[in-house]
Structure 1
Amino acid sequence: MSFRVLSAQVMHESNSFSVRLTSLDRFADVILLHGNEALEALDGTNTEVAGFLDVARERNWELIHVISAHANPAGCVTAEAFDQIMNVVEEAVRRERQRLDGILLAFHGAMVTTRSGDGEGDMLERIRAIAGSDIPIAATLDLHANVTRRMCELADILVSYKTYPHIDMRLAGQQAGELLHQAMAGEIEPHTLFVRPPMLEDANGGRTDIGPLVALMERARAYEKEPDVLAVSVNGAFPYADIDEIGPTITVTYSGDPEPHRVYAEELARAMWEMRRDLVNRFLSPGQAVASALSDDDRPVIIADYADNPGAGGYGDGTSLLRALIDADADACFCPIVDPEVASQLQSRKAGDTVSIRLGGKANPSLGGEPLELTGIILSVYDGDYVCDGPMYAGVHMSFGPTAVIEVGRVQVVIATEPHQCHDLQQFLAFGIDPRAKKIVGVKSMQHFRAAFEPIAGRVLVCDSGALASPDLTKFTFSRVPRPVYPLDPDTPYNPEIFVRSRGTARLAERKR
């Protein structure tokens, strides 16, 4: 039997503390494509949509892909952009409703709009209003999802990535697709529950390469092999949003009696809570990081500006780490400093020109450093396009927009228009810089850089420049987040939130006392 499945990708990780709202044109900076054009662009890539396609071919589905809309992390999605995207999805669901067997969605799980703290819940509600309750819906989520009650109530199947750096997006898409196929065939009747400990994020921001979350992920994978267990997700959460439903969750998609799975999820959530002080990152100031890096003689030292990560909604124009590298006259390269004004200004210049610029620090100088008055030499200018070849996005075309590379002393700097975090060697190599030949490599990223850069590194250092994604969450003003919550309230008692679907409806279990 061949099934007819509608799919869509709508993804955004929203930092509600950013003043830069995410409009529809911001989606086009990453991907905003419709139908087969989107499928052609993503086929064979390490993305959820590629995973959907894998299952569609294997299972002989008729796959109707509506839209792929994915914007870089930034401020809240405007209501106008949200409605424009959802109107396209709703029209397709309405048109195909009578012939649909299932719906497959690629979400992030941390979208905030200018009118709602639960973008994914809003999307699912609008889709369900047209599709009805009888069509199974499966959705993929980023490991940093803030899973909500409505997400679990309205989607039958939720599958999150299990790696950070994220290298299993395609696998997550395949898993969600296979479970949807079983649901459409009547082999399973899936539901999803969650348990959320009272904390803003797990201790180490979801790291799965080292640290305490590794053991939890192993337990999750093992439990997925148990009878009636379909998917287990350990979500580290995205804390840079002032919303009602926030924080890490253990989710279990199951078939049958929820009770054993609730007990299991509670055990894992309690274990995550007990690990809340088991930190693996040691955050240095930018000056401390550079001073430490200068002591090495062989392989490059990677310094990550954790707090100004564009991948967490940081502006990407913080200058503190770059200033420290230039002041030390380090043999270094740096990527990116996001400054559309300077990148545009330098497009008319040629290699070898000496230029004086006022670089970075323009979005909010109090977050990550003030503008730098620099004189340097133009090495090259580009349109900013590159093709990733690292573990995360191999084969995916991306662009920094108009880009310039300058050299100040011995520091080579990639000046970008678009705020992409640094996660691939091609973000240097495509612009004429070989990071493997440098003593220090400065990147704006929290964790994703590790997949491509750790293999070339002698050491990795992380610094807190005080920017919009600082690891010190007590620096942020939260007004909507339920209190008490760790670490804002250090003495928070363990009082987890538990959500279980019951008898075809949804209910919120009372918080444990």
Structure 2
Amino acid sequence: MPFHVLTAEFVHESNTFTKGETGLQAFRDGTLDYGQTAVDRFGDVNSELAGFLDAAREGGWRVTHTVTAHANPGARVSREAFDHIAGVICDAAKANRDTLDGILLGLHGSMVPTFCEDGEGELLARLRAIVGPDLPIAVTLDLHAMATPAMIEKAQIFVSYKTYPHVDMRLTGLHAGRLLHPAMHGAVRPATLRAHRPMLDEANAGRTDVPDTRALYDRARAHEAEPGILAVSVNAGFSEADIEEMGPTVLVTYDAAADGAADRARAIAESLADTIWNQRDRVANRFLTPEAAAAIALDFDAAAGPLVIADYADNPGAGAYGDATALLKALLDAGATGGAFAPMIDPEAAAELHRHKLGDTVTLEVGGKNDPTLGGGPLQLIGTVMHLSDGTYTGDGPILGGITHSYGPTAVFRTGGIDVLVVTIPDQMLDLQQVRTFGIEPARLRFLVVKSMQHFRAAFEPVSAGVIVCDSGALATPQAHLRPYRRVRRPVWPLERDGF
């Protein structure tokens, strides 16, 4: 009889400094698909679910998929949203517990609900109360997970991404599934241990295009070939989530039935964690002010492609509001033309532009409406409506290839020689189709601003002639001391630089 495996994806990266809550509508705006609908949409793209299904085909399992839920990073997840989505998963576990052989979960590892600090630990605790202590549970995590002791206590198998930009989601799901299979057979007895260091996050937030950081993941892969070592996960952490257990971790999943595996797992975990600590001041990015970035854009030679400017601090993918104006203002003040700015997340401005028609000249208040102290207040601009759309696009790059999302009502507003992509629903720049769909072609630009920290590199760096990174002073600024941390254990690097 084939193994019966329950699967689910419940993903959110919670910025505890962002105002408001991430409710059910935010998941509907992102992804909230149930059962076969989710399988049809994500079963053959670069997703953990696709990897789970690859493992199911290899192992001949029967799969019950419950839900795929993703919301853009942002404020803490509301109790309503958490209880609804966790309830779908737990109700399915109750309904099938007499036949289940294992559970596979695609989680993030940095979900913070409004009522606790550890959404993944809470979900796993609820599942354990239903299925008992022994049923094998395998979990995939984002590379930016804050893996807590409670999570490690409630599941046996953990596998995290090993790339940033994240391009290995399907492979990670397959890896987890391939470890679950022998666990269900009883051929291995998986367990996971955790090493942690007192830092907000790894020096380069897990960037695998930086040699010092990439070497951590190369070592992790090499260790996975050792006898008794099943998975080695290096989690960079997420510095925008202020919780007691925040910080980088190393998780090693090993076969507890193999002689010496536990001791070897501990040695591997502590050695990698020590390296993270010893490299804590080796930051690769050079963060430019908006004025310095604008000066470079002004005279950039785009013969070989545009200059890509990453608005690092206003990254919606880290829970920032995506409406900071400091960089756009600097570009306009400098007289930089022939560029584009994507996206400006401003539902009010998008709605106003949709009250006009193509070619209209419009006076518009743009951006800076969530918190003008973070990256600049609203700009009063005059420009032309160049494009109007419902915001739907289908990715074709290494992260979003084949996946359809929507920005909601979307417009391109040309002002001062810059095309501003004004959108309604938050998202960061991951894929060229997020601009090309709306008539913005990078090859025709002198410069392109993307609101993203690192993921943009997978699709945009190959078509650029240069990349620079700007700290616009928005919510995800690399200047962590500007955020009011209250929950993290102190001392912690880099808020404190001694006392360790």
The normalised TM-score by structure 1 is: 0.95
Query: What per-residue deviation string (whole Å, max 9, x for no partner) do you get for residues 142-176 of structure 1?
Result: 00000000111101100000000000001000000
Residue matched to 2:390: 383
Superposition pairs for residues 46-445 of structure 1, below 5 Å?
46-256=46-256, 257-297=261-301, 298=303, 299-330=305-336, 331-445=338-452
Give the superposition deviation at 1:410: 1.1
Distance 2:362 2:334 in 1: 21
Give the superposition deviation at 1:212: 1.1
- Is the partner of 2:103 in helix, strand or coil? strand
The answer (yes or no) to whether the contact 1:329–1:411 under 8 Å persists in 2 is no
Distance 1:351 1:60 in 2: 54
| 1:275 partner letter | Q
Give the superposition deviation at 1:347: 1.3
- Is the partner of 2:66 in helix, strand or coil? strand
The answer (yes or no) to whether the contact 1:204–1:211 under 8 Å persists in 2 is no
Distance 1:37 1:264 in 2: 41
Distance 2:159 2:443 in 1: 36
- Is the partner of 2:194 in helix, strand or coil? strand
The answer (yes or no) to whether the contact 1:302–1:441 under 8 Å persists in 2 is yes
| 2:16 partner letter | S
Pick which of 388-397 and 322-331 moved more: 322-331
- Is the partner of 2:341 in helix, strand or coil? strand
Distance 1:17 1:492 in 2: 26
Residue matched to 1:31: 31
Distance 1:28 1:323 in 2: 33
- Is the partner of 1:237 in helix, strand or coil? coil
Give the superposition deviation at 1:86: 1.5
The answer (yes or no) to whether the contact 1:332–1:441 under 8 Å persists in 2 is yes
Give the superposition deviation at 1:178: 0.7
- Is the partner of 1:93 in helix, strand or coil? helix
Distance 1:492 1:138 in 2: 37
| 1:329 partner letter | G
Give the superposition deviation at 1:327: 2.0
Residue matched to 1:4: 4
User: How many residues are treated as equivalent by the alignment?
Assistant: 493
Distance 2:183 2:396 in 1: 35
Distance 1:296 1:22 in 2: 40
Query: What per-residue deviation string (whole Å, max 9, x for no partner) do you get for residues 50-70 of structure 1?
Result: 111111122211100011111
Ranges in structure 1 where 5+ consecutive residues have no aligned partner? 494-513
The answer (yes or no) to whether the contact 1:325–1:332 under 8 Å persists in 2 is no
Distance 2:341 2:139 in 1: 36
CA RMSD of aligned residues (A): 0.9
Give the superposition deviation at 1:116: 0.7
- Is the partner of 2:209 in helix, strand or coil? coil
Query: What per-residue deviation string (whole Å, max 9, x for no partner) do you get for residues 105-143 of structure 1?
Result: 000000001111100000000000001112100010000
Give the superposition deviation at 1:323: 1.2
The answer (yes or no) to whether the contact 1:138–1:156 under 8 Å persists in 2 is yes
| 1:306 partner letter | Y
Distance 1:439 1:337 in 2: 19
- Is the partner of 1:114 in helix, strand or coil? coil
| 1:276 partner letter | R
| 1:172 partner letter | T
Distance 1:268 1:52 in 2: 28
| 1:316 partner letter | G
The answer (yes or no) to whether the contact 1:486–1:492 under 8 Å persists in 2 is no
Distance 2:161 2:450 in 1: 24
| 2:117 partner letter | G
Residue matched to 2:456: 449
Residue matched to 1:507: none
- Is the partner of 2:478 in helix, strand or coil? coil
Distance 2:353 2:122 in 1: 42
Query: What per-residue deviation string (whole Å, max 9, x for no partner) do you get for residues 466-499 of structure 1?
Result: 1111111111111111111100111142xxxxxx
The answer (yes or no) to whether the contact 1:211–1:280 under 8 Å persists in 2 is no
Query: What per-residue deviation string (whole Å, max 9, x for no partner) do you get for residues 352-381 of structure 1?
Result: 100010000000000011101000000010
Give the superposition deviation at 1:321: 1.0
Query: What per-residue deviation string (whole Å, max 9, x for no partner) do you get for residues 291-345 of structure 1?
Result: 1233431321110000000000000010111112222232101100000011112
Runs of 4+ in 1 over 3 A off after TM superposition: none
| 2:478 partner letter | P
- Is the partner of 1:375 in helix, strand or coil? strand
Ranges in structure 2 where 5+ consecutive residues have no aligned partner? none
- Is the partner of 1:98 in helix, strand or coil? coil
- Is the partner of 2:97 in helix, strand or coil? helix
Distance 1:5 1:368 in 2: 47
Give the superposition deviation at 1:93: 0.5
Distance 2:457 2:499 in 1: 33
Pick which of 293-302 and 213-222 moved more: 293-302
Query: What per-residue deviation string (whole Å, max 9, x for no partner) do you get for residues 407-460 of structure 1?
Result: 112100100001100111111100011012101110100000000011111111
Distance 1:196 1:295 in 2: 46
Distance 1:295 1:214 in 2: 33
The answer (yes or no) to whether the contact 2:298–2:335 under 8 Å persists in 1 is no
